[in-house]
Structure 1
Amino acid sequence: MFTLAGLRIPVIAAPMAGGASTPHLVVAVGEQGGLGFLAAGYKTPEVLERQISAVRGTTTHPFGVNVFLPQAPASDLAGVERYRRALEPQALARGVTLPPSRSDDDWFAEKIDLLVALRVAVVSFTFGLPSVDVVARLHQVGTSVVATVTSVEEARQAESRGVDALCVQGPDAGGHRGTFHTADRPQNIPLPELLAAVLSSVGLPVVAAGGIRSGSQISALLDGGATAVQLGTAFLRTDESGAPQAHKNALADPRFTQTVITRAFSGRAARGLLNAFITEHDAGAPWAYPQAHQLTAALRADAGRRGDADGLALWAGTGYRDATAEPAADVFTRLWQDACVRVAT
């Protein structure tokens, strides 16, 4: 079974749902000695299978797949409908039809069946914990299981579920916070402090994640007990990233001056660049995932086609200004070399 300790270089490319994490990015990171991740979120099992095949057709290095846990049905259905009415003028102006809201498990059972059949080296979970049965099925085929956690309590629950490692996500992370419940308000404990608290409470290997953008951070977190570190935003502008060009450009655009936690796009807490959509809609968005995500999907797709960064979910960690437009291998190598220099000195 794969273990994090077996990585030649303890650096992981975060799974970024929505298209950023491509097979090309996974391969590039794996070839450098790290661990790449595909994001299963929002993909059909058929698309996920094709991406797994694409990676395996290019490299023999291990890689991971991240899966979203199904969420409890939204309790604020009235809030979802109010949000629909608030979005309708914008949709009408763009010629976009808002889809009906519905319960959606993101093909969870089918994806687990697929990952068991394909014997992927690592499967990580976000937005909750897999059942003991799911963990056992993955273990039976030699798959290592990782749980995303944002607090000590979540880490303890994950350990009791029998997972092999934890991805500890700090508050500076871009994209969705991995809290177990949709309406959870994420904690703001700095990553180094959260890492130390988790390591003192559980006996599992830990991946440190969230806002990591420099070699000094990498070396400090590894010195602090992390088995590996995970970076997402650092790879968003790379050649291999599948993020929309408008998203890549926004990370370097001086018009966008800060990141904020918002539920405007998905109904769940997520960090992204403050733009016009967030300014207009965050206050009225319900805590309702995936219903709010479904409502805004067509608007986001339209913004992507038009290259309108003010209508996109510009997920980004707090260190977004350090993201560079170059091959992923160059980003990986530079950060690791800098981390090694910091350790040597």
Structure 2
Amino acid sequence: MAGLDLRALDAPVIVAPMAGGPTTPELAAAGTNAGGLGFLAAGYLTADVLAERITAARALTSGPLGVNLFVVRSSAALPDAIHRYAKALESESARYDTHLGEPRYDDDHWSAKLDVVMDLKPEVVSFTFGLPDAEECTRLRSAGITTVGTITTLAEAELAVAVGVDAVAAQGPAAGGHRGTLDPAAPPPTQPLSQLLRATTVGLDVPVIAAGGLMTAVDVADVLASGAVAASLGTAFLLADEAGSSPVHRAALQDPQFTETVVTRSFSGRYARGLRNRFIDAHDAEAPFGYPEIHYMTSPLRAAAVRAGDPHGTNVWAGTGYRQAKAAPVAEIFSALI
């Protein structure tokens, strides 16, 4: 295997990449320093900012680091549906005294970010929403980088292996944030992580990382006993001292008024799990497919809601086990997981 052997971590726990704020260089480095593997989230960043964050994390740890890239190859957006949704969100613009963003398409600076990781060589690069092609996998491997494809079904895992990834991250339905489903218009799979893990570990000849809803030492032990080489946790670190979660996000995770998470495409045009709030209740049924167009369109609304301290106007991504998240340093959270 190229690069890092994921089976050789001192602590088989990965601090999952969480784009949009929660992931910081400090969080990633702390995960590595605790004996696991910390990931930086490249999503929504420019290539230059990604390079700065990799460099900053390198200064905080001598251990391995991972970087997660969004692979946006196509969009399921339909112009008429986007226009109708924009009309439906006019009341939100008025509520937060802001405007909608331009619903544009881009590939999240894929080529430029690929150049950054080829240059700075994090030990691991993972992919979400899509897969690199075989040539790109070969380039990364030749640079000594281990590649990981995020998948939500065995069929997706087989596609990932076919393009040459070194490992897969099997994401179950309890995961917080965006589902890693490869088809942007497909309903997110509901197969439990335990079943997906069994199918992938038996059916594939590559290491499998387990992800989605893992919060406790028992959760970690269970997936390791089922054949995973490591457990990837995101929600468990949202309240970590080193995380960049906003004050609104942190407060909502601990607010008893929020009682459940739901999967919605109302914020980004792609399915993601977060705390059920007023915005989701008002707009989920009418929200069309269309990532990243809807993401860009709602971005000013969400930012304005955060500035206003209102968790009901923004996405509060979280997995189903969010109530078990602890406000503590990463090292302390790791100690409770191992």
Q: Distance in 2 between matches of 1:140 and 1:116?
A: 9
Contact kept? 1:29, 1:36, Cα under 8 Å: yes
Q: Give 5+ residue unaligned stretches, structure 2.
A: none
Contact kept? 2:77, 2:291, Cα under 8 Å: no
Q: Distance in 1 between matches of 2:311 and 2:320?
A: 18
Shift of 1:93: 3.5
SS at match of 2:91: helix
Q: 1:215 aligns with which of 194, 206, 217?
A: 217
Q: Which residue of 1 aligns with 2:41?
A: 39
Q: Distance in 1 between matches of 2:97 and 2:253?
A: 28
Shift of 1:75: 4.1
Query: Identity over aligned residues, as a percent?
Result: 48
Residues 255/118 of structure 1: CA separation in 2 closer, same or farther (3 Å cut): same
Q: Which residue of 2 aligns with 1:140?
A: 142
RMSD (Å) for aligned C-alpha atoms: 0.9
TM-score under structure 2 normalisation?
Answer: 0.98
Q: Distance in 2 between matches of 1:244 and 1:78?
A: 34
- Which 4+ residue blocks in structure 1 deviate beyond 4 angstroms? none
Shift of 1:306: 1.5
Contact kept? 2:69, 2:127, Cα under 8 Å: yes
Contact kept? 1:14, 1:230, Cα under 8 Å: yes
Q: Which residue of 2 aligns with 1:330?
A: 332
Contact kept? 1:119, 1:141, Cα under 8 Å: yes
Q: Distance in 2 between matches of 1:75 and 1:287?
A: 6
Which is worse superposed, 39-48 or 89-98? 89-98
Contact kept? 2:261, 2:318, Cα under 8 Å: yes
Spell out the pairing of 1:239-250 with structure 2 (5 A cutoff): 239-250=241-252
Deviation string 1:208-230 (CA, Å, 9 cap, x unpaired) is 00000111111111011000000
Q: Distance in 2 between matches of 1:333 and 1:159?
A: 33
Q: Distance in 2 between matches of 1:9 and 1:256?
A: 33
Q: How many residue pairs are counted as aligned between the two chains?
A: 336
Q: Does 1:284 align with 2:289?
A: no
Q: Give 5+ residue unaligned stretches, structure 1.
A: 337-345
SS at match of 2:168: strand
SS at match of 2:140: helix
Q: Which residue of 2 aligns with 1:298?
A: 300
Contact kept? 1:71, 1:181, Cα under 8 Å: no
Q: 1:154 aligns with which of 149, 153, 156?
A: 156
Q: Does 1:267 align with 2:269?
A: yes
Contact kept? 1:41, 1:68, Cα under 8 Å: yes
SS at match of 1:257: coil
TM-score under structure 1 normalisation?
Answer: 0.96
Q: 1:100 aligns with which of 90, 99, 102?
A: 102
Shift of 1:144: 0.4
Q: Distance in 2 between matches of 1:73 and 1:165?
A: 26
Q: 1:129 aligns with which of 131, 135, 149?
A: 131
Contact kept? 1:247, 1:312, Cα under 8 Å: no
Q: Distance in 1 between matches of 2:76 and 2:236?
A: 33
Q: Which residue of 2 aligns with 1:74?
A: 76
Q: Which residue of 2 aligns with 1:85?
A: 87
